[in-house]
Amino acid sequence: MIVFITGATAGFGAAMARIFATNGHRVLIAGRREDRLEALAGELGPNVRPVPLDVTSKAAIHAALDALPAPWRDIDVLINNAGLALGIKPAHEAALEDWETMIATNCSGLVTMTRAVLPRMVERGSGLVINLGSVAGHYPYPGGNVYGATKAFVEQFTLNLRADLVGTGVRATNIAPGLCGGTEFSNVRLKGDDAAAAKVYEGTTPLTAEDIAGTAYWIATLPPHVNVNSIELMPTCQGFSPFAIKRN
């Protein structure tokens, strides 16, 4: 298979590149930090090809896909993993620029990548789009505001892809993880406050990037007649809270 993974310079994306490459698949790894792409490709060998790319740039996406050499063009699996949360402030205090960046990356970047890759999959009668949603797209929490909304968008977009793709042989899946450690997610969200980021996982046994990569690999290697529409994962230590009620 040829697998295109966005956000492969860290976290889930890098772990996904490793599991697909070590199982003999060819992997296109995308992200903005070119040095990391080169290092990962160096580690994994010639079946892994860096694609330096900012998913918020429509022009960059089209240029990168157009520049793929012929043997790399028939992408079998697109994993729209690039994404981020920025900030944990309540809506009335959050920075509008952070909201715009999350929407540009998690929503616009994801749909632009999908729209660019999908026609060839449909033409060939096979393919799979895996999108990274989140439990934040299923359940609200304080400070989740636009991040959670982008992930709800990802889930609904994925299900609507399914509606459009029935009969084409092309599959689509939303993976919605809960608390997951060992990635840069919280460092990015907390804007480089690494001590606060580490605290998010203190005393927990969170999911790992390898858990999510293994899930993506399982989904991608199921028989072609099986479509996982959406899958939600949490670490065993994570659960639900009662509704917050402000009493007089």
Among candidate residues 102, 105, 13, 1, the one with its CA nearest the CA of residue 50: 13
- Binding-site size for ligand 8X3 (CB under 6 A) equals 6
Q: Are 183 and 201 in contact (CB under 8 A)?
A: no
Which residue among 27, 28, 94, 134 contacts ligand NDP (CB under 6 A)?
Answer: 134
Contact window for ligand NDP (CB under 6 A) among 16-24, 79-87, 224-232, 235-243: 79-87
211 touches ligand NDP by CB under 6 A: no
**C-alpha–C-alpha distance, residues 234 and 218, integer Å:** 17
Q: Is 144 one of the binding residues for ligand NDP (CB under 6 A)?
A: no
Identify the residue among 7, 87, 127, 144 touching ligand NDP (CB under 6 A).
7
Rounded CA separation 134/241 (Å): 17
Of 193, 167, 194, 198, nearest to 181 by C-alpha is 198
Q: According to the binding rule CB under 6 A, does residue 232 interact with ligand NDP?
A: no
- In the residue annotation, 141 being an active-site residue is answered as no
Q: Pick from ligand 8X3, ligand NDP, none: which does 79 bind, CB < 5 to 8 A by kind? A: none
The entry of ligand 8X3, ligand NDP, none near residue 9 (CB within 5 to 8 angstroms by kind) is: ligand NDP
Alpha helix positions (H), 140-224 = 145-165, 185-189, 194-199, 209-220
Which H or E run includes 52?
Answer: strand 48-52
Structure tokens at 199: 């605290």
Q: Which of 139, 141, 147, 217 is catalytic?
A: 147
Q: What is the DSSP string of 4-50?
A: EEESTTSHHHHHHHHHHHHTT-EEEEEES-HHHHHHHHHHH-TTEEE
**Amino acid in the structure at residue 232:** E
For ligand NDP, the binding residue among 56, 114, 145, 230 (CB under 6 A) is 56
| Residue number with CB closer to ligand 8X3 (60 or 136) | 136
CB of 119 to ligand NDP, least distance (A): 22
Q: How far is the CB of 67 from ligand 8X3 (least distance, A)?
A: 31
DSSP letter (8 states) at residue 134: -
Q: What minimum distance in Å lies between the beta carbon of 126 and ligand NDP?
A: 25
By annotation, the residues acting in catalysis are 147
Q: Which residue ranges make up the site for ligand 8X3 (CB under 6 A)?
A: 134-136, 144, 178-179
